[in-house]
Structure 1
């Protein structure tokens, strides 16, 4: 439900409005990119299938009733398929069974790739900022260009990033994410105030994949 909400037209329009509101106060160029997943995680599905197949084999070997020998390969193979299919169909289970480190690495890698693919480094002052959301992993990665001094943005910036992450990780609605996005404006305005001749160089509408 959370993923679907982020991809509907209302959410896309809201994201564009939030970007415009931030850029009205700062020279930073913010781009929101929402992806359904940052990795394939097939190994998790295969692991679930393997465990279920193993349980099936042990049950057939040690339960008191007898099973015809020719049923063993069929039932074990079927159990593997069922386990892998169930894992793939239940994102919450798949995510819970995948290591947190791998989830984070995949999102970080995908965010940096999106930063390049979307041309965010091409702004005049190198002040582009990618807010990358990966809905399966329930994670957000913020990638600033070299013209954004994150050290100068300070604690207020770090707190805004933490709230963004918490909103994506815990909420069933994109609204808390938008509320957290608004917190980016204040530290960016302080460090990168908008000039009178500022030109919007990157699209405000979110990128979705």
Structure 2
């Protein structure tokens, strides 16, 4: 899927790596052209399970799902992080990202969302000395 240039992909993966370097949490990005389910939230939940994000030790995984042609995206967190952040946190994060998306700044919006999620993960789940990266940092490109 040729949605992002190599430099853009590197920038996104770097943002994930930097964010995860400060926390035991895990952040993944899934990109499809079209929503891969009946709703964007269902697609995000599907990939959350498919990528094993529900298996993190502290239940602190965050998934950003983006369907580029449908202009839809969702952010979901596992129960560990959801129990910590304020109820409006994910909506606030989406609003920050959407402001960039509306200006055609897809990569910048993703980086802002990753950084914002990473800050909360760091606050509630700081990186321990024994922390291991439980999931890959790469972008997962769906088949849609």
TM-score, normalised to structure 2's length? 0.83
Q: Secondary structure at the match of 1:133?
A: strand
Structure 1's 27 and 124: CA in aligned 2 closer, same or farther, altered over 3 A?
same
For structure 2, list consecutive stretches of 5 or more residues without a partner in the other structure: none
Residues 7 and 208 in structure 1, CA contact (< 8 A), matched pair in contact too: no
TM-score, normalised to structure 1's length? 0.59
Deviation at 1:158, TM superposition (A): 4.4
Aligned equivalent of 1:174: 106
Residues 130 and 143 in structure 1, CA contact (< 8 A), matched pair in contact too: yes
Q: Secondary structure at the match of 1:131?
A: strand
Of residues 20, 23, 33, the one that matches 1:23 is 20
Residues 11 and 174 in structure 1, CA contact (< 8 A), matched pair in contact too: no
Residues 35 and 133 in structure 1, CA contact (< 8 A), matched pair in contact too: yes
Deviation at 1:173, TM superposition (A): 2.8
Aligned equivalent of 1:82: none
In structure 2, how many angstroms separate the alpha carbons of the residues matched to 1:175 and 1:39? Answer: 21
Aligned equivalent of 1:126: 59
How many residues matched?
A: 140
Aligned equivalent of 1:199: 132
In structure 1, how many angstroms separate the alpha carbons of the residues matched to 2:61 and 2:119? Answer: 16
In structure 1, how many angstroms separate the alpha carbons of the residues matched to 2:9 and 2:135? Answer: 16
- More strand by percentage: 2
- Structure 1 stretches of 4+ with a deviation exceeding 4 A read 155-158
Q: Secondary structure at the match of 1:201?
A: coil
Larger Rg, first or second structure (1 or 2): 1
List per-residue Cα deviations over 1:184-204 (Å, max 9, x = no partner): 222221111111111001000
- More helix by percentage: 1
Write the mapping of 1:34-73 to structure 2, written as runs, cut at 5 A.
34-38=31-35
In structure 2, how many angstroms separate the alpha carbons of the residues matched to 1:146 and 1:164? Answer: 22
What's the C-alpha RMSD, in Å, of the aligned pairs? 2.3
In structure 2, how many angstroms separate the alpha carbons of the residues matched to 1:116 and 1:28? Answer: 16
Aligned equivalent of 1:184: 117
Q: Secondary structure at the match of 1:132?
A: strand
